[in-house]
Amino acid sequence: MQIYTGPKSAYGRKHGVYCPGPGVNVKTARCILNMIDRELKSGWTYDHGGRRIKMTPRLAAKRANYLIALAKKHHGREEARRVADIVRRWMAKRGLAREAATAVARWR
């Protein structure tokens, strides 16, 4: 089960709120990063089975970095670069600088 995108995602089923899809592009990445922000503040999220789990900064960074790979898979390398820039800025703003450097190094 997807966590953030589509009406059948964990958020779509449990809260009626979800990000647009299919595929990850800049618009979808921004939406997902906003949802990850909310999860960091609340301290919990959902796993792929729809179960509630603890949200940590490390898990947030992993999910944010994965958006880059999904953007490349769905829309190509150029879109992945744009998403990587958004992810890098998002991580730097939240004090996840080391993870941000890793994300950008892979896509530059």
Dump the DSSP string for 56-108. Answer: -HHHHHHHHHHHHHHHHHHH-HHHHHHHHHHHHHHHHHTT-HHHHHHHHHHH-
Q: Does residue 5 form part of some domain? A: no
Q: Does residue 4 form part of some domain? A: no
Q: Report phi then psi at 10, rounded to 5.
A: -60, -45
Confidence of residue 21 (pLDDT cuts 50, 70, 90): confident
Domain count, the chain: 1
Residues 6+ apart with CB under 8 A from 40: 55, 57, 60, 94
Q: What's the pTM value of the predicted model, to 2 decimals?
A: 0.86
pLDDT at 69 over 60: yes
pLDDT for 87 equals: 94
For the chain, helix (H) and strand (E) counts, in that order, are 5, 2
Q: Does residue 69 form part of some domain? A: yes
